[in-house]
């Protein structure tokens, strides 16, 4: 423990000055507060998301016959699948409010700019031609674009308003009317800029900024193959993207569609034929570098069991259960982990370290792996690993979970201690204020 405390103190001395500088940045503050304010959305539907996806045949038949599944999936689609919209609203509101400008107007302008950047498609619905937006652009494929806009549009709006670039109305005009009309010039400038950016992308092979982000980020995946080392490096790269707010779903979907499906098919064919599985280690490693979601956040959830601060004692009640079911949006956005410099090292390196450990353990611990067992994504990892590979596979998985816990713990303790001291200081100030009163 002395060595652990020494390492933790060294971390605090090295990272505290950097964290303090970053923490005072208004954009980072707005991102942090904004992502935390999306927590009611992600937590509000987490139980429903788990129940709708439970892989029991009788339960799924009941949901389908009663149309509960359709209603549930539509609700999930309009909440968890549209987090880019909710994050954009809360972050832009927070930033504009910090700058002392009309937060509601700043938010509306930013949301309008985001929607204006989206490509509009024409589809035939019930025999009528209809203009539609893709919901993917409001969710996983749109989070990075939304973050770019919330760092530019609210700042530009606030600067224009502070330079008094607004419509000046007489004092006799009611404040409600004045507040609505005065930002009009700033809005014209902003949306003119948005128009030219949107037009510029139509001249590119991608056609729009969303396709550009998805395609450019997805291209590196084509250089990866079906080896465990490639898989480890790929998920490490995904964790890096997730830290910076780029949802890795487009990447992982492409990787699994191109590489993993072919590897799974080959494993099943070999299993049925009674031959050795050609890609068994690939799937064992996969289960050990994706525990709780990208970033292996279940390890951080376990670290929260040692929290001293009231903030994290309360938060662990909200995030641990969803994370067990592989839903990590509450901890990614609510903690938040995204763009949080304290957790950069563990979030990025957990897959790298545990992946190579798991790969090494496959050479020592014999695993009888059954690739024909198909499980829903919400089934906890310890159940999946036990059913597919028995005690040996579960043992490897638990060792890797322990590694994630050890990697996150010192960084969490540093964060928790800082938060605890702030809470104590706030309590002291409130007590002093009460005594004076």
134 or 405, greater pLDDT? 405
SS3 296: coil
DSSP readout, 68-114? Answer: HHHHHHHHHHTTGGGHHHHHHHHHHHHHHHHTTS-HHHHHHHHHHHH
Q: Is the pLDDT of residue 173 over 80?
A: no
Q: Half-sphere exposure of 336 toward its Cβ, with a 13 Å CA cutoff? A: 26
Do the beta carbons of residue 328 and residue 431 sit within 8 Å?
no
What percentage of the chain's residues is helix, strand, coil (to nearest 5)? 75, 0, 25
Q: What are phi and psi of 375, to 5 degrees?
A: -130, 150
Average pLDDT (75-89) is 79
What is the distance between the alpha carbons of residues 289 and 357, in angstroms, rounded to a whole number? 10
Whole-angstrom distance, CA of residue 210 vs CA of residue 201: 10
Q: What is the pTM of this model?
A: 0.64
The C-alpha atoms of residue 12 and residue 437 are separated, in whole angstroms, by: 37
From CA 327, how far away is CA 294, in angstroms rounded?
10
List pLDDT tens digits, range 359-385: 999 999 998 888 877 677 778 999 989
pLDDT at 426 over 70: yes
Contact 394, 326 (CB under 8 A): no
- pLDDT category of residue 258 using cuts at 50, 70 and 90: low
Q: Which residue has the higher pLDDT, 307 or 182?
A: 307
**Tens digits of per-residue pLDDT, 262-302?**
688 778 878 877 788 888 999 999 999 999 988 999 999 99
């Amino acid at each position: 423990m002395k060595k652990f405390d020494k390492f933790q103190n060294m971390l605090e001395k090295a990272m505290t000055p950097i964290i303090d500088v970053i923490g005072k940045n208004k954009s980072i503050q707005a991102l942090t507060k904004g992502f935390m304010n999306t927590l009611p959305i992600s937590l509000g539907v987490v139980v429903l998301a788990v129940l709708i996806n439970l892989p029991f045949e009788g339960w799924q038949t009941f949901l389908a016959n009663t149309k509960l599944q359709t209603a549930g999936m539509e609700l999930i689609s309009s909440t968890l699948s549209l987090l880019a919209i909710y994050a954009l609203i809360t972050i832009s509101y927070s930033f504009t409010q910090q700058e002392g400008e009309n937060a509601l107007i700043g938010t509306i302008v930013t949301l309008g700019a985001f929607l204006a950047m989206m490509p509009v498609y024409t589809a035939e619905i019930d025999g009528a031609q209809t203009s539609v937006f893709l919901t993917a652009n409001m969710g996983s494929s749109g989070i990075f674009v939304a973050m770019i806009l919330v760092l530019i549009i609210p700042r530009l709006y606030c600067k224009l308003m502070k330079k008094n670039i607004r419509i000046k109305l007489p004092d006799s005009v009611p404040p409600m009317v004045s507040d609505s009309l005065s930002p009009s010039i700033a809005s014209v400038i902003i949306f003119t800029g948005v128009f030219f950016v949107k037009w510029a992308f139509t001249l590119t092979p991608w056609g729009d900024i969303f396709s550009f982000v998805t395609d450019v980020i997805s291209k590196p995946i084509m250089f990866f193959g079906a080896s465990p080392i490639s898989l480890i490096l790929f998920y490490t790269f995904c964790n890096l993207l997730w830290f910076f707010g780029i949802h890795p779903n487009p990447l992982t979907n492409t990787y699994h569609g191109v590489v993993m499906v072919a590897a799974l098919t080959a494993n099943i064919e070999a299993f049925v034929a009674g031959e050795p599985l050609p890609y068994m280690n690939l799937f064992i490693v996969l289960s050990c570098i994706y525990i709780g979601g990208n970033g292996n956040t279940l390890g951080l959830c376990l670290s929260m069991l040692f929290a001293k601060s009231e903030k994290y004692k309360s938060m662990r009640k909200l995030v641990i259960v969803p994370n067990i079911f592989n839903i990590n949006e509450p901890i990614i956005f609510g903690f938040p982990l995204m763009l949080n410099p304290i957790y950069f090292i563990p979030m990025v390196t957990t897959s790298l370290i545990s992946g190579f450990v798991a790969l090494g353990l496959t050479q020592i611990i014999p695993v009888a792996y059954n690739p024909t067992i198909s499980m829903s994504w919400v089934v906890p990892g310890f159940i999946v690993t036990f059913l597919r590979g028995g005690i040996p596979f579960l043992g490897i998985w638990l060792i890797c979970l322990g590694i994630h816990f050890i990697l996150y713990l010192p960084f969490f303790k540093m964060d928790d201690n800082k938060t605890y001291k702030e809470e104590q200081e706030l309590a002291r100030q409130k007590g002093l204020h009460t005594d004076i009163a």
